Structure 1
Amino acid sequence: MDDDVISLVHALGVFQGLILGVILLFINRKNKSTFFLGLFLIGFAIEFLPVILKDFKILENHPGLLLLPISFSWILFPLFFLYVQKISIFAHERVTYRILYPGVISILFLFILFLLPESTKEYLRGTYLFEIFFVLGLSYSLYIVVRIDKYVRTHTEEVKNQFATVKNRQLQWTRFFIVFCFVLVGIHIGTLFIKVAPVLELLISCASLILVFSIAISGIIQYNVFSAVQHANLPVKATIKQDVSKEKVLDLINKIDDYVIDTGIYIKQDLTVVDISTALELHPKDVSNAINKHYNKNFNTYINEFRIKKAQELLRTDILNNLSIEGISREVGFHSKASFYAAFKKATGTTPMNYHIETSKS
């Protein structure tokens, strides 16, 4: 394997990350908070500069660049965490900027080391100082990755308690990318100390290229997830507490069920818990909490069950002579055929078409 090819891929990855990161910095706006994602991509790209300096033998010709303070392993994932917080349904709450402190301190530490005489830097390279530094950085990053995963799970639960349609609101892509990024950063740092096969190094570099591009595109596509409750004009405060009586919950559930069934509001595609709470003059939290407590379901599942029952009624007729499956999905309130199929199979164990065929025979 030609080392020049690997070096070229490394350089291309850094260039791509810097360009896409800068683009994300400039498209940052109120409904699309990409600033911290842009910083993350820039830092992620710069993280691989030591590999390029090594590939092109720049350090051999310019020993003064030894220990260049461009390792951001301590601050990369906190930046991504801030991005996730900024676009989440909890964006109106306090953002935890303090998670950046260890990263800032680590950069200052590296900068001080960089200013040391070359002989001192050479001596330090022969110790375990940097191995310990990078292991601690990866450990802190792993801690942040776990926090991001937990945060996105909580975000998803809240989205399902507020919206009947959750497409493009769950941020599941962030969980996949952040784990993949963590693994790649760990591997790249390892290649600075351990020699790996050229083929494996090339595959890792190509994976990094694809990952950076995918993250940038996802960030460009992803809009902020605004809380329906936070932006609603609420006339009352939430009243349901953990120790509320079953009679109170049952009374609320009867009101909610009657309203949803009588009005057929569940077929509204952009339905939120606020639509129902406003009509019943209740707080949205009371509506979602009552559904959670009585049915042990979130608002999204609760509404989808009404939609599926309506779809089953339609599929037991000859409606498919005039309407497609996608048409039925929109008729009962789903945004897409894919989400309808997933919800229908989860509820019935079969597909809409199979259900139609089976019920037509009986």
Structure 2
Amino acid sequence: MGNINQVLEQIPIRHDFVSYFISLGIFIGLLVSFVLLLRTSNKNNAFRIYGWSLLIQSIIATDVFLCYTGLIKYIPHFNDSTEPLVLLLAPSIYLFVYTLLTRKSITLKKHWIHLVPSVLYFLSQIQYYLQPISIKVNAYLGAYYDDIEKVIIPKDTDYSYLWIKDEFRWLILASFVFYIILSMRLILINRTKKKILSAENTRINKFDFSKNTSLGLLAFFLLIFIVYINFEDDGGDHFIFIFNTIIVGITCVILLSESRFFENSWIADKYETSKFKSQEISINDIKQFVEKNNFYLLSSASLKSLAEELNSSSNYISQVINTYTDLNFNDFINQYRIEASKSRLIDSEYSHLTIEAIGNSVGFKSKSAFYNAFKKHVAISPKAFVTLQKTD
């Protein structure tokens, strides 16, 4: 056995297509995760969770990149430091799917149980984290360069932490299996709600995105299983994160394809020649007024009356709504009315009202107007919606 410096000098630095590809995945993953975490509204709990999941993946991928290239020899005390985060991968994907499909927020108070395996594993490995660098260098050599001479270690070294570390791979596989089952079960339950969850103006709806995300999780599991069967240590981890780069790249393409950046209205508004820029009323001002004053509940609500309330012109208010929502005034107001009607249709306080009466209560002047707007925005009739909610 040699001293640490002599052994570390023998570790080669490896740069090839694999290392470049993984580093590309790290860069894209960090970029997309930061965009999601910094730009996503607090109300959009699902994609904030997805942002955290991508960040976790990127951190783990960085660890794999350092080990694969040999650069870990410059910071050997970080070897295996991201293992607890691996146990957060499957739960984070499941919680994303759960939030996206159920529209329920994730809170630490209610969902702390999903963090328990990761926290417990971290606590079990504190002894390893406190070990001298020689132990961590030998652990790395054992996984990647078993032919290189090991480092001299203290004679009284305690390896009791290995009882769980040696089974870490099976913990990962068990975690993936458990959360794949939960995700698939959730998708099957929400399969009948696909039309309800589909956004009117998106190319990829929530149900399909959730389904594809869960299938990606399944593919991850199968790849991990194959790698674990063929490699005794961490030497095959780079194959997993080649696949991770592909998944992150696809995610980036999907998010970009849904971005307003590629819409014609972003490049050149159809109202460019008007006095649009000289006005001071924003879409947020309009939304705030409509929501705060329950303007949409008025059957007399019109573009003209809204413009008068905001002391502006009908043409200008129409421009703002159309430019920032891609909706005309009627669809813009009806969105609020439909959301209110969905709540009232399943609220016991309104059970004494007929479906037509509930439509009238949220501003629709006739039964046909209510039914047509409801089917346009929800994709099913009010009666079918009530039946579906009761069966759930």
Match of 2:216 in 1: 180
Judge conservation of contact 2:95–2:106 (CA < 8 Å) in 1.
no
**Pair 1:166–1:276, CA change in 2 (3 A):** farther
2:29 pairs with 1:17: yes
**Pair 1:11–1:153, CA change in 2 (3 A):** same
CA RMSD of aligned residues (A): 4.7
- CA separation in 2, counterparts of 1:230 and 1:265? 9
Q: 5 Å matches for 1:340-351? A: none
SS in 1 for 2:29: helix
Shift in Å, 1:237: 2.5
Match of 2:115 in 1: 100
Judge conservation of contact 1:164–1:270 (CA < 8 Å) in 2.
no
- CA separation in 1, counterparts of 2:100 and 2:133? 44
2:77 pairs with 1:42: no
Shift in Å, 1:54: 2.2
Q: In structure 1, what residue type is equivalent to 2:343?
A: A
Q: Say which of 335, 343, 362 aligns to 1:232.
A: 343
Shift in Å, 1:23: 1.1
- CA separation in 2, counterparts of 1:286 and 1:238? 15
Normalised by the length of structure 1, the TM-score is: 0.55
Shift in Å, 1:11: 1.6
Match of 1:148 in 2: 183
Deviations 1:5-51 (A, max 9, x none): 21111222122211211111112215633211011011112222333
Shift in Å, 1:80: 1.8
Shift in Å, 1:150: 1.1
Which stretch of structure 1 is more off in the superposition, 177-186 or 34-43? 177-186
Q: Say which of 218, 223, 245 aligns to 1:209.
A: 245
Which stretch of structure 1 is more off in the superposition, 179-188 or 19-28? 179-188
Which stretch of structure 1 is more off in the superposition, 10-19 or 170-179? 170-179
Judge conservation of contact 2:37–2:48 (CA < 8 Å) in 1.
yes
SS in 2 for 1:212: helix
Match of 2:100 in 1: 87
**Pair 1:230–1:66, CA change in 2 (3 A):** farther
Match of 1:59 in 2: 72
- CA separation in 1, counterparts of 2:181 and 2:26? 26
SS in 2 for 1:232: helix
Judge conservation of contact 2:53–2:92 (CA < 8 Å) in 1.
yes
2:207 pairs with 1:171: yes
2:130 pairs with 1:115: yes
2:192 pairs with 1:157: yes
Q: 5 Å matches for 1:261-272? A: 263=368, 268=373, 269-272=375-378
Q: In structure 2, what residue type is equivalent to 1:270?
A: K
Match of 2:16 in 1: 4
Judge conservation of contact 2:195–2:379 (CA < 8 Å) in 1.
no
Judge conservation of contact 1:74–1:138 (CA < 8 Å) in 2.
no
**Pair 1:97–1:275, CA change in 2 (3 A):** farther
Q: In structure 1, what residue type is equivalent to 2:55?
A: I
**Pair 1:229–1:132, CA change in 2 (3 A):** farther
Unaligned runs of 5+ in 1: 241-251, 253-261, 278-283, 293-297, 299-362
Judge conservation of contact 1:162–1:228 (CA < 8 Å) in 2.
no
Higher relative contact order (CA 8 A, sep 6+): 1
Which stretch of structure 1 is more off in the superposition, 226-235 or 73-82? 226-235
Deviations 1:96-122 (A, max 9, x none): 342222223334444542222345554
SS in 1 for 2:382: helix
Judge conservation of contact 1:78–1:99 (CA < 8 Å) in 2.
yes
Deviations 1:272-319 (A, max 9, x none): 499635xxxxxx7754478x7xxxxx9xxxxxxxxxxxxxxxxxxxxx
Shift in Å, 1:147: 0.5
Shift in Å, 1:267: 5.4
- CA separation in 2, counterparts of 1:110 and 1:45? 22
Unaligned runs of 5+ in 2: 1-13, 144-161, 260-335, 355-366
- What's the % identity of the aligned pairs? 14
Shift in Å, 1:58: 2.4
SS in 1 for 2:173: helix
